[in-house]
Amino acid sequence: MSPDPSTTSDLVTPALLVDVPTFERNLAAMDAVLPGAKLRPHVKAFKSTDMARRLDADGHHGFCAATPREIEGLVAAGLTDDLLLANETLDTARLGALAGRANITVAIDSDETLDAAIAGGVRSVLVDIDVGLPRCGCDVEDSARLADRARAAGLDVRGVMGYEGHVMMVHDRDKKRAKVEQAMAILLQAHEMVGGDIVSGGGTGTWDLNTWCTEIQAGSYTLMDTQYDELEMPFEKALSVLATVISISSKGWIIADCGLKALGMDHGNPSWDDGDVFFCSDEHITLMPRELSDWKVGDRVQIWPSHVDPTVARHEQFWLVDDDSVRDRWPIDLRHW
Ligand SMILES: Cc1ncc(COP(=O)(O)O)c(C=O)c1O
Protein backbone atom coordinates (compact mmCIF):
# COMPACT_ATOMS: atom_id res chain seq x y z
CA MET A 1 0.00 0.00 0.00
CA SER A 2 1.28 3.46 -0.76
CA PRO A 3 1.46 5.51 2.49
CA ASP A 4 -1.51 7.58 1.44
CA PRO A 5 -3.56 5.65 -1.12
CA SER A 6 -5.50 7.93 -3.41
CA THR A 7 -7.15 5.34 -5.65
CA THR A 8 -8.33 1.79 -5.02
CA SER A 9 -5.48 0.46 -7.17
CA ASP A 10 -3.08 1.70 -4.46
CA LEU A 11 -4.71 -0.56 -1.84
CA VAL A 12 -3.26 -3.82 -0.60
CA THR A 13 -5.85 -6.55 -1.05
CA PRO A 14 -8.04 -7.94 0.36
CA ALA A 15 -9.35 -4.48 1.27
CA LEU A 16 -12.71 -3.67 2.82
CA LEU A 17 -14.42 -0.89 0.87
CA VAL A 18 -17.31 1.36 1.87
CA ASP A 19 -18.93 3.15 -1.03
CA VAL A 20 -19.53 6.61 0.44
CA PRO A 21 -22.49 7.77 -1.69
CA THR A 22 -24.35 4.50 -0.99
CA PHE A 23 -23.52 4.64 2.73
CA GLU A 24 -24.79 8.23 2.92
CA ARG A 25 -28.03 7.24 1.13
CA ASN A 26 -28.54 4.41 3.63
CA LEU A 27 -28.15 6.84 6.53
CA ALA A 28 -30.57 9.32 4.97
CA ALA A 29 -33.17 6.59 4.30
CA MET A 30 -33.03 5.48 7.93
CA ASP A 31 -33.08 9.04 9.32
CA ALA A 32 -36.19 9.87 7.30
CA VAL A 33 -38.14 7.22 9.25
CA LEU A 34 -36.25 6.86 12.53
CA PRO A 35 -34.58 10.17 13.40
CA GLY A 36 -32.66 10.89 16.59
CA ALA A 37 -33.43 8.72 19.61
CA LYS A 38 -35.91 6.54 17.67
CA LEU A 39 -32.81 4.70 16.43
CA ARG A 40 -30.17 3.35 18.79
CA PRO A 41 -27.59 2.19 16.22
CA HIS A 42 -26.02 -1.18 16.97
CA VAL A 43 -22.23 -0.91 16.59
CA LYS A 44 -21.80 -4.70 16.37
CA ALA A 45 -22.33 -4.49 12.59
CA PHE A 46 -19.56 -1.97 11.88
CA LYS A 47 -17.29 -1.91 14.97
CA SER A 48 -15.87 1.52 14.20
CA THR A 49 -15.88 4.62 16.38
CA ASP A 50 -15.48 6.80 13.29
CA MET A 51 -18.72 5.38 11.91
CA ALA A 52 -20.41 5.79 15.30
CA ARG A 53 -19.29 9.45 15.31
CA ARG A 54 -20.84 9.89 11.87
CA LEU A 55 -24.17 8.57 13.21
CA ASP A 56 -23.85 10.71 16.34
CA ALA A 57 -23.47 13.75 14.08
CA ASP A 58 -26.82 12.78 12.52
CA GLY A 59 -28.51 12.97 15.93
CA HIS A 60 -28.27 9.34 17.09
CA HIS A 61 -26.52 9.86 20.42
CA GLY A 62 -27.34 6.50 22.04
CA PHE A 63 -25.71 3.25 20.88
CA CYS A 64 -26.13 -0.49 21.34
CA ALA A 65 -23.12 -2.73 21.78
CA ALA A 66 -22.69 -6.49 21.93
CA THR A 67 -19.41 -6.69 23.88
CA PRO A 68 -17.72 -4.87 26.79
CA ARG A 69 -14.92 -4.00 24.35
CA GLU A 70 -17.37 -2.08 22.15
CA ILE A 71 -18.59 -0.13 25.19
CA GLU A 72 -15.00 0.67 26.25
CA GLY A 73 -14.15 1.88 22.75
CA LEU A 74 -17.22 4.10 22.50
CA VAL A 75 -16.43 5.67 25.88
CA ALA A 76 -12.80 6.27 24.87
CA ALA A 77 -14.10 7.98 21.71
CA GLY A 78 -16.23 10.32 23.85
CA LEU A 79 -19.55 8.79 22.78
CA THR A 80 -20.79 8.56 26.35
CA ASP A 81 -24.41 9.83 26.25
CA ASP A 82 -26.35 6.58 26.46
CA LEU A 83 -24.65 3.24 25.87
CA LEU A 84 -26.57 -0.03 26.05
CA LEU A 85 -24.82 -3.37 26.26
CA ALA A 86 -27.70 -5.16 24.54
CA ASN A 87 -26.34 -8.49 25.61
CA GLU A 88 -25.69 -10.47 28.78
CA THR A 89 -22.24 -10.43 30.39
CA LEU A 90 -20.56 -11.46 33.60
CA ASP A 91 -17.58 -9.25 32.72
CA THR A 92 -19.15 -6.24 34.44
CA ALA A 93 -16.24 -4.72 36.38
CA ARG A 94 -14.95 -3.25 33.10
CA LEU A 95 -18.29 -1.49 32.64
CA GLY A 96 -18.59 -0.38 36.27
CA ALA A 97 -15.12 1.19 35.99
CA LEU A 98 -16.54 3.50 33.29
CA ALA A 99 -19.76 4.36 35.14
CA GLY A 100 -18.42 7.76 36.23
CA ARG A 101 -17.57 8.73 32.65
CA ALA A 102 -20.53 7.41 30.69
CA ASN A 103 -24.18 6.52 30.97
CA ILE A 104 -24.03 2.72 30.66
CA THR A 105 -26.96 0.32 30.78
CA VAL A 106 -26.63 -3.46 30.69
CA ALA A 107 -29.15 -6.15 29.70
CA ILE A 108 -29.86 -8.77 32.37
CA ASP A 109 -31.98 -11.90 32.17
CA SER A 110 -31.08 -13.92 35.30
CA ASP A 111 -30.10 -13.60 38.94
CA GLU A 112 -26.51 -14.29 37.91
CA THR A 113 -26.32 -11.48 35.36
CA LEU A 114 -28.08 -9.12 37.78
CA ASP A 115 -25.66 -10.08 40.57
CA ALA A 116 -22.75 -9.45 38.20
CA ALA A 117 -24.15 -6.02 37.29
CA ILE A 118 -24.48 -5.11 40.99
CA ALA A 119 -21.02 -6.48 41.88
CA GLY A 120 -19.42 -4.75 38.89
CA GLY A 121 -20.79 -1.33 39.79
CA VAL A 122 -23.18 -1.03 36.85
CA ARG A 123 -25.86 1.54 37.64
CA SER A 124 -28.60 0.90 35.08
CA VAL A 125 -30.16 -2.21 33.57
CA LEU A 126 -32.78 -3.28 31.04
CA VAL A 127 -34.56 -6.57 31.56
CA ASP A 128 -34.00 -8.68 28.43
CA ILE A 129 -37.07 -10.71 27.45
CA ASP A 130 -37.27 -13.85 25.31
CA VAL A 131 -39.58 -12.77 22.47
CA GLY A 132 -39.11 -15.91 20.35
CA LEU A 133 -35.46 -16.03 19.26
CA PRO A 134 -33.87 -18.97 21.06
CA ARG A 135 -31.06 -16.90 22.55
CA CYS A 136 -30.83 -14.59 25.59
CA GLY A 137 -33.87 -13.20 27.42
CA CYS A 138 -35.90 -14.30 30.45
CA ASP A 139 -39.53 -15.43 30.49
CA VAL A 140 -42.09 -12.66 30.94
CA GLU A 141 -43.11 -14.32 34.23
CA ASP A 142 -39.63 -13.73 35.67
CA SER A 143 -39.22 -10.13 34.51
CA ALA A 144 -40.97 -8.29 37.36
CA ARG A 145 -39.07 -10.26 39.98
CA LEU A 146 -35.72 -9.37 38.41
CA ALA A 147 -36.75 -5.71 38.07
CA ASP A 148 -37.81 -5.58 41.74
CA ARG A 149 -34.53 -7.16 42.83
CA ALA A 150 -32.55 -4.68 40.72
CA ARG A 151 -34.43 -1.69 42.16
CA ALA A 152 -34.02 -3.02 45.71
CA ALA A 153 -30.26 -3.09 45.03
CA GLY A 154 -30.36 0.58 44.01
CA LEU A 155 -30.13 0.10 40.25
CA ASP A 156 -32.07 2.17 37.75
CA VAL A 157 -34.33 -0.21 35.80
CA ARG A 158 -34.81 1.68 32.55
CA GLY A 159 -37.23 -0.73 30.88
CA VAL A 160 -37.12 -3.84 28.71
CA MET A 161 -35.48 -5.10 25.55
CA GLY A 162 -36.41 -8.02 23.30
CA TYR A 163 -34.71 -8.83 20.01
CA GLU A 164 -36.95 -10.49 17.41
CA GLY A 165 -33.99 -11.85 15.43
CA HIS A 166 -35.97 -14.91 14.28
CA VAL A 167 -38.22 -12.63 12.20
CA MET A 168 -35.61 -10.55 10.35
CA MET A 169 -35.46 -12.65 7.18
CA VAL A 170 -39.20 -13.28 6.69
CA HIS A 171 -39.70 -12.01 3.13
CA ASP A 172 -43.48 -11.52 3.05
CA ARG A 173 -44.11 -8.17 4.72
CA ASP A 174 -47.65 -9.00 5.93
CA LYS A 175 -46.45 -12.21 7.52
CA LYS A 176 -43.47 -10.37 8.99
CA ARG A 177 -45.65 -7.61 10.45
CA ALA A 178 -47.82 -10.23 12.17
CA LYS A 179 -44.78 -12.03 13.57
CA VAL A 180 -43.22 -8.80 14.85
CA GLU A 181 -46.53 -7.91 16.51
CA GLN A 182 -46.63 -11.31 18.17
CA ALA A 183 -43.07 -10.91 19.49
CA MET A 184 -43.67 -7.36 20.65
CA ALA A 185 -46.89 -8.34 22.47
CA ILE A 186 -44.65 -10.46 24.70
CA LEU A 187 -42.27 -7.54 25.22
CA LEU A 188 -45.07 -5.09 26.04
CA GLN A 189 -46.56 -7.54 28.52
CA ALA A 190 -43.19 -7.61 30.31
CA HIS A 191 -42.89 -3.83 30.07
CA GLU A 192 -46.18 -3.37 31.93
CA MET A 193 -44.73 -5.29 34.85
CA VAL A 194 -41.16 -3.97 34.70
CA GLY A 195 -41.87 -0.28 34.04
CA GLY A 196 -39.27 2.24 32.86
CA ASP A 197 -39.20 4.44 29.75
CA ILE A 198 -37.43 2.15 27.31
CA VAL A 199 -38.82 -0.60 25.11
CA SER A 200 -35.85 -1.55 22.93
CA GLY A 201 -35.77 -4.06 20.07
CA GLY A 202 -35.83 -4.45 16.33
CA GLY A 203 -33.13 -4.56 13.72
CA THR A 204 -32.50 -3.78 10.07
CA GLY A 205 -34.95 -6.47 8.92
CA THR A 206 -37.86 -5.06 10.98
CA TRP A 207 -36.80 -1.40 11.05
CA ASP A 208 -40.07 0.06 9.72
CA LEU A 209 -42.47 -2.69 10.81
CA ASN A 210 -41.61 -2.67 14.50
CA THR A 211 -43.75 0.24 15.63
CA TRP A 212 -44.05 -1.00 19.22
CA CYS A 213 -40.54 -0.27 20.48
CA THR A 214 -39.54 3.18 21.68
CA GLU A 215 -36.18 2.66 19.92
CA ILE A 216 -34.87 0.37 17.17
CA GLN A 217 -31.50 -1.38 17.48
CA ALA A 218 -30.44 -1.56 13.81
CA GLY A 219 -26.82 -1.54 12.60
CA SER A 220 -26.51 -3.52 9.36
CA TYR A 221 -28.53 -0.94 7.38
CA THR A 222 -25.41 1.25 7.26
CA LEU A 223 -23.41 -1.18 5.10
CA MET A 224 -25.79 -4.02 4.18
CA ASP A 225 -24.91 -7.46 2.78
CA THR A 226 -26.28 -9.81 0.13
CA GLN A 227 -28.60 -11.55 2.59
CA TYR A 228 -30.32 -8.36 3.78
CA ASP A 229 -30.31 -7.15 0.17
CA GLU A 230 -32.87 -9.90 -0.63
CA LEU A 231 -35.48 -7.94 1.36
CA GLU A 232 -37.48 -5.03 0.03
CA MET A 233 -35.78 -2.16 1.81
CA PRO A 234 -34.43 1.24 0.75
CA PHE A 235 -30.91 0.29 1.91
CA GLU A 236 -28.29 -0.77 -0.65
CA LYS A 237 -25.04 -2.68 -0.42
CA ALA A 238 -22.25 -0.25 0.52
CA LEU A 239 -19.71 -2.84 1.70
CA SER A 240 -17.50 -4.90 -0.57
CA VAL A 241 -14.17 -6.67 -0.46
CA LEU A 242 -11.68 -5.68 -3.12
CA ALA A 243 -9.41 -8.55 -4.20
CA THR A 244 -6.70 -9.16 -6.78
CA VAL A 245 -6.70 -11.95 -9.37
CA ILE A 246 -3.61 -14.03 -8.57
CA SER A 247 -4.10 -17.01 -10.88
CA ILE A 248 -6.10 -18.03 -13.94
CA SER A 249 -6.94 -21.58 -14.93
CA SER A 250 -7.45 -22.76 -18.50
CA LYS A 251 -10.26 -24.89 -17.03
CA GLY A 252 -12.43 -21.79 -16.78
CA TRP A 253 -11.91 -20.24 -13.41
CA ILE A 254 -9.94 -17.38 -11.91
CA ILE A 255 -8.62 -17.13 -8.38
CA ALA A 256 -8.46 -13.97 -6.27
CA ASP A 257 -6.85 -13.28 -2.92
CA CYS A 258 -9.82 -13.05 -0.57
CA GLY A 259 -11.06 -16.18 1.13
CA LEU A 260 -12.64 -17.29 4.38
CA LYS A 261 -10.25 -15.12 6.38
CA ALA A 262 -11.59 -11.99 4.70
CA LEU A 263 -15.28 -12.90 4.46
CA GLY A 264 -17.98 -13.90 6.96
CA MET A 265 -19.45 -17.02 5.37
CA ASP A 266 -22.14 -18.10 7.84
CA HIS A 267 -24.82 -16.79 5.44
CA GLY A 268 -23.30 -18.63 2.49
CA ASN A 269 -21.06 -17.66 -0.40
CA PRO A 270 -20.45 -14.03 -1.24
CA SER A 271 -21.49 -12.72 -4.67
CA TRP A 272 -19.70 -11.37 -7.69
CA ASP A 273 -21.26 -9.28 -10.47
CA ASP A 274 -19.16 -10.73 -13.34
CA GLY A 275 -19.92 -14.41 -12.85
CA ASP A 276 -20.40 -17.04 -10.14
CA VAL A 277 -18.54 -17.76 -6.95
CA PHE A 278 -17.39 -21.39 -7.16
CA PHE A 279 -16.01 -21.71 -3.61
CA CYS A 280 -13.85 -20.03 -0.96
CA SER A 281 -10.91 -21.46 0.91
CA ASP A 282 -8.70 -19.81 3.53
CA GLU A 283 -6.90 -17.26 1.34
CA HIS A 284 -8.63 -17.81 -2.00
CA ILE A 285 -11.89 -17.26 -3.80
CA THR A 286 -12.43 -19.28 -6.97
CA LEU A 287 -14.62 -17.44 -9.45
CA MET A 288 -16.30 -18.65 -12.64
CA PRO A 289 -16.33 -15.60 -14.93
CA ARG A 290 -18.88 -15.25 -17.70
CA GLU A 291 -15.97 -14.56 -20.10
CA LEU A 292 -12.63 -16.10 -19.10
CA SER A 293 -10.77 -14.16 -21.79
CA ASP A 294 -11.80 -10.85 -20.11
CA TRP A 295 -9.50 -11.57 -17.17
CA LYS A 296 -5.78 -11.42 -16.49
CA VAL A 297 -3.60 -11.83 -13.41
CA GLY A 298 -3.43 -8.52 -11.55
CA ASP A 299 -7.02 -7.46 -12.30
CA ARG A 300 -9.16 -6.40 -9.37
CA VAL A 301 -12.50 -8.00 -8.46
CA GLN A 302 -15.21 -6.63 -6.17
CA ILE A 303 -16.83 -9.23 -3.92
CA TRP A 304 -20.11 -8.68 -2.05
CA PRO A 305 -20.15 -10.30 1.43
CA SER A 306 -23.22 -12.28 2.49
CA HIS A 307 -22.98 -11.21 6.15
CA VAL A 308 -21.70 -7.81 7.20
CA ASP A 309 -20.82 -8.34 10.90
CA PRO A 310 -18.38 -11.27 10.69
CA THR A 311 -16.84 -9.84 7.52
CA VAL A 312 -16.09 -6.52 9.22
CA ALA A 313 -14.65 -8.30 12.26
CA ARG A 314 -11.97 -9.85 10.02
CA HIS A 315 -10.56 -6.51 8.85
CA GLU A 316 -8.52 -3.72 10.45
CA GLN A 317 -9.96 -0.82 8.49
CA PHE A 318 -12.61 0.45 6.14
CA TRP A 319 -11.48 2.28 3.03
CA LEU A 320 -14.09 4.91 2.21
CA VAL A 321 -14.29 5.20 -1.54
CA ASP A 322 -16.22 7.12 -4.14
CA ASP A 323 -15.90 5.26 -7.41
CA ASP A 324 -12.13 4.59 -7.61
CA SER A 325 -11.06 7.46 -5.33
CA VAL A 326 -10.08 6.69 -1.76
CA ARG A 327 -11.60 9.37 0.47
CA ASP A 328 -10.72 8.19 3.98
CA ARG A 329 -9.63 5.31 6.20
CA TRP A 330 -11.69 4.38 9.26
CA PRO A 331 -10.03 1.94 11.68
CA ILE A 332 -12.24 -0.96 12.77
CA ASP A 333 -11.27 -0.30 16.36
CA LEU A 334 -14.06 -2.05 18.29
CA ARG A 335 -13.06 -5.60 17.39
CA HIS A 336 -12.54 -8.42 19.86
CA TRP A 337 -13.95 -8.68 23.32
C1 LIG B 1 -29.47 -7.68 20.30
C2 LIG B 1 -29.50 -7.27 18.86
N3 LIG B 1 -30.22 -6.20 18.52
C4 LIG B 1 -30.31 -5.79 17.25
C5 LIG B 1 -29.66 -6.46 16.23
C6 LIG B 1 -29.94 -5.98 14.84
O7 LIG B 1 -28.94 -5.82 13.99
P8 LIG B 1 -29.12 -5.73 12.42
O9 LIG B 1 -29.04 -4.32 12.08
O10 LIG B 1 -27.98 -6.54 11.93
O11 LIG B 1 -30.43 -6.34 12.03
C12 LIG B 1 -28.89 -7.58 16.54
C13 LIG B 1 -28.20 -8.32 15.48
O14 LIG B 1 -27.68 -9.39 15.61
C15 LIG B 1 -28.81 -8.00 17.88
O16 LIG B 1 -28.08 -9.08 18.24
Ligand 1, from 40, 43, 44, 87: best to mutate by most atoms within 8 Å of Cβ? 44
Confidence band of 208 (pLDDT split at 50, 70, 90): very high
Ligand 1, from 217, 224, 227, 267: best to mutate by most atoms within 8 Å of Cβ? 217
CATH number, position 81 = 3.20.20.10
Check whether residue 182 and residue 55 sit in a common domain: yes
Q: What are phi and psi of 286, to 5 degrees?
A: -100, 120
CATH number, position 260 = 2.40.37.20
| Ligand 1 centroid from CA 65, angstroms | 9
CA torsion sign, 205 to 87 to 58 to 38?
positive
Q: Is residue 225 part of a domain?
A: no
Q: Is residue 1 part of a domain?
A: no
Ligand 1 pocket residues where CB is under 6 Å: 42, 45, 86, 163, 165, 168, 203-205, 217-221
CA pair distance 287, 278, nearest whole angstrom: 5
- For the chain, the C-alpha Rg in angstroms (whole number) is 21
HEC profile for the chain?
CCCCCCEHHHCCCCEEEEEHHHHHHHHHHHHHHCCHHHECCEHHHCCCHHHHHHHHHCCCCEEEECCHHHHHHHHHCCCCCEEEECCCCCCCHHHHCCCCCCCEEEEECCHHHHHHHHHHCCCEEEEEECCCCCCCCECHHHHHHHHHHHHHCCCEEEEEEECCHHHCCCCCHHHHHHHHHHHHHHHHHHHHHHCCCEEEECCHHHCCCCCCCCEECCCHHHCCCCCHHHCCCCCCCCEEEEEEEEEECCCCCEEECCCHHHCCCCCCCCEECCEEEEEECCCCEEEEECCHHHCCCCCEEEEECCCHHHHHCCCCEEEEEECCEEEEEEECCCCCC
Average pLDDT of every residue of the chain = 97
Ligand 1, from 26, 133, 163: best to mutate by most atoms within 8 Å of Cβ? 163
- The answer on pLDDT for 103 being more than 70 is yes
Q: Is residue 260 part of a domain?
A: yes
Ligand 1, from 42, 208, 216: best to mutate by most atoms within 8 Å of Cβ? 42
pLDDT in tens, 117-156: 999 999 999 999 999 999 999 999 999 999 999 999 999 9
**What's the pLDDT at 3?**
57
Q: Calculate helix-pair angle for 140-152, 111-120, nearest 10 degrees.
A: 20
β-strands 156-162, 62-65 pairing? unpaired
Domains identified in the chain, total number: 2
**What's the pLDDT at 129?**
98
**Ligand 1 atom showing the smallest separation from residue 161 Cα:** 1
User: What residue's CA is closest to ligand 1, atom 2?
Assistant: 163
Q: Record the pTM.
A: 0.96
> From the CB of residue 21, how many other CB atoms can be counted at a distance below 10 Å?
12
| Ligand 1 centroid from CA 229, angstroms | 16
- The whole domain housing 133 covers 35-217
| Ligand 1 centroid from CA 217, angstroms | 6
| Ligand 1 centroid from CA 205, angstroms | 9
Q: Which neighbouring-strand residues pair with 321?
A: 19, 326
Check whether residue 165 and residue 257 sit in a common domain: no
Q: Which amino acid is at 82?
A: D
Q: Is residue 25 part of a domain?
A: no
Select from 217, 247, 282 the last residue of a domain. 217
| Ligand 1 centroid from CA 168, angstroms | 9
Confidence band of 4 (pLDDT split at 50, 70, 90): confident
Check whether residue 104 and residue 252 sit in a common domain: no
| Ligand 1 centroid from CA 317, angstroms | 21
| Ligand 1 centroid from CA 167, angstroms | 11
pLDDT in tens, 219-269: 999 999 999 999 999 999 999 999 999 999 999 999 999 999 999 999 999
- The answer on pLDDT for 329 being more than 60 is yes
- The answer on pLDDT for 328 being more than 90 is yes
Q: Is residue 320 part of a domain?
A: yes
**What's the pLDDT at 280?**
97
Confidence band of 37 (pLDDT split at 50, 70, 90): very high
| Ligand 1 centroid from CA 71, angstroms | 16
User: What residue's CA is closest to ligand 1, atom 10?
Assistant: 220
Check whether residue 148 and residue 275 sit in a common domain: no
